[in-house]
Amino acid sequence: MTFTQQELLAELHRLVQTAETKGIQLRAIGGLAVRLHYADDHPAFKRDYPDLDFVVVRKQRREFEAFMAEAGYSPNKQFNLLNGAHRQIYFQNGSELKVDIFVGDFEMCHKISLEDRLTADPLTIPLAELLLSKAQVVEINRKDLLDLTSLLLFNATGDDDSRINLTQLARLCSADWGLYKTVSINLGRVADLVSKADSPLTDSERAAILARSQEILKTFESMPKPLAWQIRDRVGTRVKWYEEVEEVAR
Amino acid sequence: MSDLFVRKATGLVRSWSVFDAFVYALFSINLITLGLYSFSQMYYFSGGMIDALIIAAIFIFFEVVVYSALIAVMPRSGGDYVWQSRILGGAVGFILAVTGWWFILWLWVPLYGDMFRHIVLVPILSVFGAKDLALWFAGTQKGAFTASVLTITIVSIFIALGMKTYARIQKVSFYGGMLGLLIVIILLLTGNPESFKTAFDANATAMFGAAPGAYDATVQLGTDAGAATPFSGGGLAAVFLVIPYLVFFNLWPNWGATLYGEVRGATDFKRNISGMGWALGITTLLGIVLLFAIKKTIGWDFYVQAGGAWWNYAWGFAPDATPAFPVWPYPALLASFLTNSSILRILVVVLMSLWWFGWSGTVFLSSTRVIFAAAFDRLLPEKVAEVDERTGTPIWALLLMVVPSVVVAYMFNFNIANFASLTLCSTLVIAVTYLGTTIAAIILPYKKPDLYKASPIAKYNIFGIPLITVAGLIFGGFLVFLLYQWLIDPNALYGIGIKNTSSIIYMLANYALAAIIYFGFKAYRKNKGIDLDKVQSEIPVE
């Protein structure tokens, strides 16, 4: 059973809002969260969405587990038993819809703490962290790159959470050289992508994306860099700077 | 975009890094707890300790190869249970895995408890001047049982904290323990036998109220006990007879095998080998260095005699020969006698106690994964694979470990039905499990050719024979030798063979219990319409 984008978005809204009524902070992450920040249905960013991804605060993990049963989902018991403190998987009863849960932190190639950041946006994690969740992928794929590009096109940069919060980006990247490095590499990949001759973007769209990307890189240049960051910078990419993410088939 | 990647499934950063797995392997063959404990018990052999250490390590390296290969083929939580049940069949897999990874761990609890009192409680209490309490723990059955109960409590807390937190505890223990060991080795290498003898006599009296002349009295008691084990040499046959006792300490670099479903990069064969192999190599090297340092200052003969004096009395062979030094002769404590600095003494015993804390979780952690895997196959009630909603603790799995452990610890510590003689059963039953896994490894390329050919180990062959088969044959031969020595015991060296009725009954009872559970649940599930043979024919999801 496959779901249309509208059906998935409707389910995303239902889960976040129902959780809210029970006092549970649940926010969307991943491709559909990015989709929620589109200004319009741009043909350049058309993609399929195989599942729903959310973040829940760590301290509400137990309430959340009970909530998912009420919401019509069954846990992947084995996976949740072994990984449930930081990751969980659920399946909608009667369908194959998979819901992937991050508990407290988003942890892939780099770790992004979200425990205290889930109230900034009513539906998704804040834009800055959403951008980082896509830009932190070392072995980035086309979908992630398109998501990253679309975030830069449809959302301005600024100093608060209604936009891509540059202060927050600087805070997280000055605390983690590895995150800074991967994000910088992927912003370069975005520039390559939009600069291609066959890009379906207009000149003004391309200019907006490149300008916002440059703003972020300039923010990195001017952000305060602790001594540990500077030492790690000297070492560079000779030492692995990210965690390995494994593909786990289920 | 040529530099883009393709992902098909859920991305996951597993809980443990390869370094975490290395530390777990290093602690599983813990030089300070298992090593020093067994060295002190091995006082009556004719073969050299160093030679036995090196030869055993060579054979055990093939165990590392076998397990690294199986992990790379099927990196699943549950390890031996999953491999054996999928390759050898459900009954063999269940019976061998639950006896070796679950039931026999009940017997390991009083052994961990014994090491807790000798390596943590007694040294720390004594350096802080709590002589009477230290002696109560060191020399009474109630003290030993209390140490077992404390062990169960501490380990249960570690399990409740989860894999990630336990990895942090391990890391702190690793660095702190290594620092402590470095200080001990320096103290021993910079001391000399004369100053040690003086310090030993003075501290035995001052710290434990021993009668003057404890050194000479210990030499006499040890000699009377038959202390004989040489530092090295003794002939190859004699050295090989040391190994079945020695492997109580170092047969376990693969102890994390049941956890590899939670280790990053577990499909990388070479990486698995390096994690476990380095643990084996470093531990063997540290063992040689530590024993050499002991020989230099404590004196090899005295070290063996002190072990003989203690165990000859503790095992009840000479109930009237009360040790002149009234606590277990712990080399780190003995090394601390070489300094007059109270701070340094405290630092030594506290840092060295981390070797126990970093290791203690191994008694239950690996077992819980086997229990979970069996429960997911519906061979146990599903309840045992649930966690408590409030604490996140696998409460039922823990209870299945804890409750029988308390009973067995009581029987061991109070020597009911000769249970105190069963120490090496703890090793034998697990070796049988390992033999099952090794046979599974040997036949894997032929029994499951598709699985093998698709795996990363398929490219490793020796003269056209799969490496996993060759390594399995070598390690399997080693295990058969060990099992022959333990069970037949022609030289009466190990005390757990066919001449020890308690030992044989205890081990057979474990296998019978496992068989009853397996066939009982199989029949029960069949009544419910679930064919367990079918369940166990499929590779479990990650």
In tens, the pLDDT along B137-149 reads 999 999 999 999 9
In tens, the pLDDT along B289-322 reads 999 999 999 999 999 999 999 999 999 999 999 9
What is the spatial distance between Cα A214 and Cα B451, in angstroms, rounded to a whole number? 49
Assess whether pLDDT exceeds 80 at residue A169: yes
Closest Cβ opposite residue B1 in set A62, A108, A193 = A193
What is the spatial distance between Cα A200 and Cα B37, in angstroms, rounded to a whole number? 72
Q: Is the dihedral of CA B124, B130, B133, B136 positive or negative?
A: positive
Range B314-320 contact pairs with CB under 8 angstroms and sequence separation of 24 or more: B315/B420, B315/B421, B316/B415, B316/B420, B317/B225, B318/B224, B318/B225
Give the minimum alpha-carbon distance from A249 to chain B in angstroms, rounded to a whole number.
5
Assess whether pLDDT exceeds 70 at residue A249: no
Closest Cβ opposite residue B10 in set A78, A84, A89 = A89
Confidence of residue B542 (pLDDT cuts 50, 70, 90): low
In percent, how much of chain B has pLDDT > 70? 97
Q: How high is the pLDDT of residue B1? A: 45
CA dihedral B416, B40, B492, B413 (to 10 degrees): 0
Please report the beta strands in A169-245, taking only residues with DSSP state E, as ranges in sequence order: none
Greater confidence, A2 or B541?
Answer: A2
List, as ranges, residues 215-254 from B with C-beta within 8 Å of A: none
Contact yes or no for A52/A30 (Cβ under 8 A): yes
Q: Does B8 touch chain A (CB under 8 A)?
A: yes
In tens, the pLDDT along B346-405 reads 999 999 999 999 999 999 988 888 998 899 888 999 888 887 766 667 888 889 999 999
Q: How high is the pLDDT of residue B9? A: 52
Contact yes or no for A191/A215 (Cβ under 8 A): no
Q: How high is the pLDDT of residue B165? A: 86
Yes or no, beta carbons of B3 and A193 under 8 Å apart: no
Mean pLDDT of B100-118: 95
Which of chain A's residues have a Cβ under 8 Å away from the Cβ of B77?
Answer: 78, 82
Q: Does B492 touch chain A (CB under 8 A)?
A: no
How far the first Cα of chain A sits from its last, in Å, is 17
Yes or no, beta carbons of A246 and B77 under 8 Å apart: no
Give DSSP secondary structure letters for B483-540.
HHHHHH-TT--SS-STT-HHHHHHHHHHHHHHHHHHHHHHHHHHHTT--HHHHTTSPP
Q: For chain A, what is the radius of gyration of the CA atoms?
A: 18
Yes or no, beta carbons of B372 and A81 under 8 Å apart: yes
Give DSSP secondary structure letters for B291-313.
HHHHIIIIIHHHHHHHHHHHHHH
Residue in this structure with the two tokens 């910088």, named with its chain if needed: A184
Assess whether pLDDT exceeds 60 at residue B470: yes
List, as ranges, residues 11-30 from B with C-beta within 8 Å of A: 11-15
Considering the entire predicted model, what is its pTM?
0.87
Task: Please report, as a single letter, which amino acid is at residue B91.
Answer: A
In tens, the pLDDT along B435-466 reads 999 999 999 999 999 999 999 999 999 999 99
Q: Phi-psi category of B213—alpha, beta or left, where left has phi over 0 and alpha has psi -120 to 50? A: left
Nearest partner of A84 among B372, B440, B49, B377, judged by Cα: B372
Mean pLDDT of B78-99: 94
Contact yes or no for A148/A190 (Cβ under 8 A): yes
Confidence of residue B541 (pLDDT cuts 50, 70, 90): low
When mean pLDDT is compared across A17-26, B326-335, B382-391, the lowest value belongs to B382-391
What is the spatial distance between Cα B179 and Cα B177, in angstroms, rounded to a whole number? 5
Chain A residue with Cα closest to B369: A82
Contact yes or no for B107/B404 (Cβ under 8 A): no
Give the minimum alpha-carbon distance from B178 to chain A in angstroms, rounded to a whole number.
25
Longest dimension (CA), chain A: 54
Contact yes or no for A16/A26 (Cβ under 8 A): yes
Yes or no, beta carbons of A145 and B541 under 8 Å apart: no
Yes or no, beta carbons of B13 and A107 under 8 Å apart: yes
Greater confidence, B361 or A248?
Answer: B361
Task: Please report, as a single letter, which amino acid is at residue B448.
Answer: K
Q: How high is the pLDDT of residue A40? A: 82
Q: Which run of H or of E encompasses A106? A: strand A105-107
Contact yes or no for B448/B441 (Cβ under 8 A): no
Q: Does A227 touch chain B (CB under 8 A)?
A: no
Find all residues with CB under 8 Å of B514, minimum gap 6, and list them. Answer: B94, B95, B98, B99, B103
List b or e across B239-248, with b for residues whose CB sees 16 or more CB atoms inside 10 angstroms: bbbbbbbbbb
Which of chain B's residues have a Cβ under 8 Å away from the Cβ of A247?
Answer: 7-11
Beta-ladder partners of A112: A106
The structure tokens listed for B394 are 């696998």
Give DSSP secondary structure letters for B336-360.
HTT---HHHHHHHHHHHHHHHHHHH
Q: How high is the pLDDT of residue B2? A: 47
Which of chain A's residues have a Cβ under 8 Å away from the Cβ of B6?
Answer: 141
Mean pLDDT of B219-244: 97
- In Å, how far from its chain's centre is CA B35? 9
Task: Please report, as a single letter, which amino acid is at residue B430.
Answer: I
**Angle between helical axes of A142-154 and A127-135 (0-180°, round to 10):** 150
Q: How high is the pLDDT of residue A79? A: 85
Q: Indicate the burial class of B498 (C-beta count within 10 angstroms; 0-12, 13-18, 19 or more).
A: exposed
Distances (CA, A) of B134 to A135, B54, B189, B336, B528: 58, 35, 28, 16, 56
Give DSSP secondary structure letters for A66-89.
HHHHHTTEEE-HHHHHHHTTTEEE
Contact yes or no for B159/B365 (Cβ under 8 A): yes
Q: Phi-psi category of B448—alpha, beta or left, where left has phi over 0 and alpha has psi -120 to 50? A: beta
Mean pLDDT of chain B: 93
Pick from B3, B5, B10, B18 the residue to mutate for testing the A interface (most A CBs within 10 Å).
B10
Give the minimum alpha-carbon distance from B73 to chain A in angstroms, rounded to a whole number.
14
Assess whether pLDDT exceeds 70 at residue B513: yes
Beta-ladder partners of A89: A100
Q: Does A87 touch chain B (CB under 8 A)?
A: yes
Give the minimum alpha-carbon distance from B360 to chain A in angstroms, rounded to a whole number.
20
> SS3 sequence, A131-185?
HHHHHCCCCCCHHHHHHHHHHHHHCCEECCCCCEEHHHHHHHHHHCHHHHHHHHH
Assess whether pLDDT exceeds 60 at residue A44: yes
Yes or no, beta carbons of B386 and A87 under 8 Å apart: no
Assess whether pLDDT exceeds 80 at residue B34: yes
Confidence of residue A238 (pLDDT cuts 50, 70, 90): very high
Q: Does B385 touch chain A (CB under 8 A)?
A: yes
Chain A residue with Cα closest to B384: A81
Pick from B2, B4, B382 the residue to mutate for testing the A interface (most A CBs within 10 Å).
B4
Residue in this structure with the two tokens 């390890």, named with its chain if needed: B79
What is the spatial distance between Cα B236 and Cα B216, in angstroms, rounded to a whole number? 32
The structure tokens listed for B308 are 């003989």
Residue B496 sits at φ, ψ, to 5 deg, of -120, 5
List b or e across B152-169, with b for residues whose CB sees 16 or more CB atoms inside 10 angstroms: bebbbebbbbbbeebbeb
Residue in this structure with the two tokens 């009360």, named with its chain if needed: B322
Chain A residue with Cα closest to B377: A78
Closest Cβ opposite residue B5 in set A82, A87, A140 = A140
Yes or no, beta carbons of A62 and B15 under 8 Å apart: no
Yes or no, beta carbons of A85 and B392 under 8 Å apart: yes
Assess whether pLDDT exceeds 60 at residue A209: yes
Which of chain B's residues have a Cβ under 8 Å away from the Cβ of A246?
Answer: 11-14, 264-265
Which of chain B's residues have a Cβ under 8 Å away from the Cβ of A98?
Answer: 10
Q: Does A153 touch chain B (CB under 8 A)?
A: no
What is the spatial distance between Cα B442 and Cα B436, in angstroms, rounded to a whole number? 10
Residue in this structure with the two tokens 């994306």, named with its chain if needed: A209
Q: How high is the pLDDT of residue B530? A: 83
Q: How high is the pLDDT of residue A1? A: 66
Give the minimum alpha-carbon distance from B11 to chain A in angstroms, rounded to a whole number.
5
Give DSSP secondary structure letters for B147-214.
HHHHHHHHHHHHHHHHHHHHHHHHHHHHHHHHHHHHHHHHHHHH--HHHHHHHHHHHHHHHH-PPS-H
Find all residues with CB under 8 Å of A220, minimum gap 6, and list them. Answer: A169, A170, A173, A180, A183, A184
Pick from B13, B365, B372 the residue to mutate for testing the A interface (most A CBs within 10 Å).
B13
Nearest partner of B521 among B310, B393, B376, judged by Cα: B376
Q: Does A245 touch chain B (CB under 8 A)?
A: yes
Mapping DSSP to helix (H, G, I), strand (E, B) and coil, where does residue B254 land?
coil
Beta-ladder partners of A102: A55, A87
ipTM: 0.72
Yes or no, beta carbons of B264 and A86 under 8 Å apart: no
Closest Cβ opposite residue A81 in set B6, B8, B385 = B385
Yes or no, beta carbons of A245 and B12 under 8 Å apart: yes
Mean pLDDT of chain A: 93
Residue in this structure with the two tokens 């979970």, named with its chain if needed: B372
Task: Please report, as a single letter, which amino acid is at residue B269.
Answer: F
Yes or no, beta carbons of A246 and B386 under 8 Å apart: no
Q: How high is the pLDDT of residue B12? A: 78
Give the minimum alpha-carbon distance from B454 to chain A in angstroms, rounded to a whole number.
16
Residue in this structure with the two tokens 């399990």, named with its chain if needed: B159
Mean pLDDT of B472-480: 98
Assess whether pLDDT exceeds 90 at residue B520: yes
In tens, the pLDDT along B188-221 reads 999 999 999 999 999 999 999 999 999 999 999 9
Question: Chains A and B: how many Cβ contacts under 8 Å?
Answer: 91
CA dihedral A76, B8, A112, A47 (to 10 degrees): -110
Give the minimum alpha-carbon distance from A240 to chain B in angstroms, rounded to a whole number.
13
Give the minimum alpha-carbon distance from A82 to chain B in angstroms, rounded to a whole number.
8
Pick from B6, B7, B12 the residue to mutate for testing the A interface (most A CBs within 10 Å).
B12
Yes or no, beta carbons of A142 and B265 under 8 Å apart: no
Which of chain A's residues have a Cβ under 8 Å away from the Cβ of B12?
Answer: 83, 87, 245-246, 248
Assess whether pLDDT exceeds 60 at residue B4: no
Chain A residue with Cα closest to B388: A62
**Bridge-based pairing state of the strands A105-107 and A98-103:** unpaired
Pick from A87, A246, A250 the residue to mutate for testing the B interface (most B CBs within 10 Å).
A246
Mean pLDDT of B499-522: 93
Distances (CA, A) of B289 to B181, B198, B233: 11, 24, 17
